[in-house]
Amino acid sequence: MAGHTLTWFHALLFAASTLAHPCPLSVAHIDFADCWTQIPTVLIDTIASLNLTTLPPELHCSRLNVPLDYSKPMSAPNNNITLGMAMYRPQRPKGVLYYCPGGTDPGAAVAWQVALGLNSDSMPNFDGLLDYDLLFMDIRGQWSSNNLSVDVNTLAPLVGAYPSNENEFNAFHSAAQLVFQSLQNMSSPPGALSHLGTRETVQDYEQVRIALGYEKINFLGSSYGSYRNAQYAATFPERVGHFALDAVTPHGMDMADQVKFDIMAVNRGLLRADAYCQNNDTCPFHDKGRGIVPKVWQSILARAINGTLIACDPSAAANCTTYIRPWEIQEALAGALSGQPNFPLILEALALATTGNAALFFAGSSVPPIVEAWGVVELCSDTALADKSYAGYQKLLEVAASVDTYHINQSISILTQLVCAAWPYTVPAQPPLKLNATMLLITASFDVDTYVTVYSPGQKRLPIQNPYNVPTGLLAGDVDSSG
Ligand SMILES: *[C@@H]1O[C@H](CO)[C@@H](O)[C@H](O)[C@H]1NC(C)=O
Ligand SMILES: *[C@@H]1O[C@H](CO)[C@@H](O)[C@H](O)[C@H]1NC(C)=O
Ligand SMILES: *[C@@H]1O[C@H](CO)[C@@H](O)[C@H](O)[C@H]1NC(C)=O
Ligand SMILES: *[C@@H]1O[C@H](CO)[C@@H](O)[C@H](O)[C@H]1NC(C)=O
Ligand SMILES: *[C@@H]1O[C@H](CO)[C@@H](O)[C@H](O)[C@H]1NC(C)=O
Ligand SMILES: *[C@@H]1O[C@H](CO)[C@@H](O)[C@H](O)[C@H]1NC(C)=O
Ligand SMILES: *[C@@H]1O[C@H](CO)[C@@H](O)[C@H](O)[C@H]1NC(C)=O
Ligand SMILES: *[C@@H]1O[C@H](CO)[C@@H](O)[C@H](O)[C@H]1NC(C)=O
Ligand SMILES: *[C@@H]1O[C@H](CO)[C@@H](O)[C@H](O)[C@H]1NC(C)=O
């Protein structure tokens, strides 16, 4: 968990709108490039260490020029950008499957991982689908798709405890405005910042479909990738083949509800950690009975609040003068309970903290990476805020407090509200999407990324009420620190 920070984009859900009148385009043309010139940034070291002399013939890398602003022709001044993507292409594909990972995860890199057999826990296993064309695109504004630049030092003031009074709220707002100014100043083409939402991304997906010549596409989206593929389906219903939405991020949900569900999901995650402890005798608190994990958390938080919880490597603990702050340990726990929680590691971190050392929860201070800015841009492009004022923010804090049983006090939606209140462009509101297609929805009650209360037409589905009834362990998808 050390080094873990809750990324902006871990779990996100927001309103977006479809473009009313996209310009008719000439037929999109896809250029297949030499893959050696398009190695994804995140894989450069891996590829170098593999000492490859040839690349698998199924791996294809491509670039596609598209309009920045789809309401104008690509030939208008400063109105083209280049999308980067990679494909796994068998000899006689049975169709095409798009895969879109979450948030700012690099897309094109997954094609390389598939082609080179570099599977990992954080990606789907595509075995059994290798007779399809598999398409992996970097989202516009990110990675190899006309990525944005920013002075990352402008991001640092956004990290920390949420503002606790109006002055702090205003200071945060000014800091967020500077981030957007820096992005505007440093990114190209000029004006890029205002056309980097999911409205545009779904048009990009459509251009790729046209360029590849498929009538329909199949689409697997994870986390925010499911937000994108659902919006594609709503925008181009006649193009929908088989769609799967994993860890569904909903459209058009009220911000107060989002905040409430964020906190409730973390609460369930903590109870699952407790269930794991009861089910596994390697847990340091195994013999202390049900409810021990939340109890331990409360005592640790109390020490963080009174400023006595150190955060140094245990071997140097005797001389440690670094103390973890409440928001740091709250953020670390909320982050650790999202995604695929590593319960053995979480329990180990809690056990060490009971000795007065929170080192395993401590990320240390560092300047956020540029992907955080990319994520914010897409999120703010997609999110219409009903009330950007201090009073609106306070209301969200109240909602959070009303369900924050364990004082974890962290909601990605509160952060979204704070940052996106400074977004300099108008965002059209959008009601929840109406999708007229049968799709596979994959959700989980304990996952911070996932809301089981949405996407259930005609039937309100409640979260699993009892987290102790959810299976734990490797077979239930939990990551085991030993492997
Ligand atoms: C790659 O080649 C270098 C230099 O020949 C060698 O030192 C290294 O061990 C090789 N790496 C692998 C993974 O084979
Ligand atoms: C992209 O825009 C630039 C700047 O307006 C222009 O020089 C270039 O020719 C355009 N490229 C395409 C493919 O339209
Ligand atoms: C951003 O784009 C530039 C220019 O194409 C490229 O050199 C750089 O590697 C990209 N950055 C990342 C992190 O992919
Ligand atoms: C939660 O955050 C708010 C805003 O920073 C703060 O006022 C409150 O004291 C925090 N509560 C806990 C339990 O940390
Ligand atoms: C952006 O550019 C403007 C005009 O050059 C300048 O006044 C401003 O300080 C810059 N802001 C940032 C955050 O880079
Ligand atoms: C801080 O909290 C811990 C745990 O509740 C307690 O043992 C300790 O005495 C407190 N220290 C101070 C200075 O309040
Ligand atoms: C703590 O500091 C003292 C004095 O500098 C040093 O002798 C000792 O080895 C340090 N202890 C640890 C555990 O680092
Ligand atoms: C939904 O899809 C079905 C099958 O394609 C079609 O017959 C029906 O008209 C559609 N309904 C709406 C409201 O679009
Ligand atoms: C119990 O936890 C240990 C690691 O903490 C893990 O290796 C083992 O697989 C777990 N057992 C079960 C039944 O989940």
pLDDT value of position 470? 74
Please tell me the distance from the alpha carbon of residue 331 to that of residue 322, in angstroms, as a whole number: 17
* pLDDT one-digit tens code per residue, 182-211: 999 999 999 999 999 999 999 999 999 999
Distance between CA atoms of 99 and 144, rounded to whole angstroms? 16
Q: How many Cα atoms are found within 13 Å in the side-chain-facing hemisphere of 481? A: 12
CB atoms within 10 A of CB 235: 20
Q: Is 182 in the pocket of ligand 5 (CB under 6 A)?
A: yes
Enter the DSSP assignment of 81. E
Q: How confident is the model at residue 12 (pLDDT cuts 50, 70, 90)?
A: very low
Residue 445 · residue 464 · CB < 8 Å: yes
Looking at residue 433, what is its pLDDT?
Answer: 85
Q: Coil, helix or strand for 322?
A: coil
Are the beta carbons of 146 and 82 closer than 8 angstroms? yes
Closest atom of ligand 5 to 154 CA is: 13
Residue 293 to residues 3, 237, 272, 273, 346: CA-CA distances in angstroms? Answer: 22, 47, 9, 7, 10
pLDDT digits (tens, 9 = 90+) for 96-144: 999 999 899 999 999 999 999 998 877 899 999 999 999 999 999 999 9
Q: What is d(CA 96, CA 430) in angstroms, rounded to the nearest whole number? A: 29
For the chain, the average pLDDT equals 88
- Domains of the chain are 1-16+149-186+265-431 (no CATH), 30-146+192-246 (3.40.50.1820)
Q: Pairing state of beta strands 217-222 and 240-246?
A: parallel
Helices (H), 280-383: 292-305, 326-336, 343-354, 370-382
Given a contact cutoff of 8 angstroms between Cβ atoms, the answer to whether 87 and 136 are in contact is: yes
pLDDT tens-digit readout, 49-108: 999 999 999 999 999 999 999 999 999 999 999 999 999 999 999 999 999 998 999 999
Whole-Å CA distances, 16 to 111, 137, 432: 28, 20, 9
The predicted pLDDT at position 246 comes to: 84
Instruction: Give the pLDDT confidence score for residue 30 in this predicted structure.
Output: 84
Ligand nearest to the CA of 160: 4
What is the residue with the minimal CA distance to atom 5 of ligand 2? 78
Q: Which ligand 3 atom lies nearest to the CA of residue 144?
A: 14
- 47 alpha carbon to ligand 1 midpoint, in Å? 11
Residue 98's φ and ψ, nearest 5 degrees, are: -90, 145
Ligand 7 center to residue 319 CA distance, Å? 6
Q: Report the pLDDT value the prediction gives residue 447, as an integer from 0 to 100.
A: 61
What integer pLDDT is reported at residue 261 of this predicted model?
86
Interacting residues of 145 by C-beta distance below 8 A, sequence separation 6+? 81, 82, 83, 84, 85, 137, 138, 139
Q: Whose CA is nearest to atom 9 of ligand 1?
A: 49
Nearest CA to ligand 9 atom 3: 282
CA dist 353 and 350 (Å) reads 5
Whether residue 364 is predicted with pLDDT greater than 90 in this model: the reply is no
User: Which residues, at least 6 apart from 415, have a Cβ–Cβ distance to it below 8 Å?
Assistant: 8, 162
Atom of ligand 5 nearest to the CA of 186: 14
* Closest ligand 3 atom number to CA of residue 370: 13
**pLDDT band at residue 431 using 50, 70 and 90 as cut-offs:** confident
pLDDT band at 475 (very low <50, low <70, confident <90, very high): low
8 Å CB contact between 222 and 340:
no
Q: 325 vs 92, 141, 282, 314, CA distance in Å?
A: 57, 34, 29, 18
The total number of residues shown for the chain amounts to: 483
Distance (angstroms) between ligand 1 centre and the Cα of 111 equals 24
In testing the pocket of ligand 3, which one of 144, 183, 374 has its CB within 8 Å of the most ligand atoms?
144
Ligand nearest to the CA of 481: 9
* Binding-site residues, ligand 6, Cβ < 6 A: 299, 302-303, 306, 308
pLDDT at 446: 60
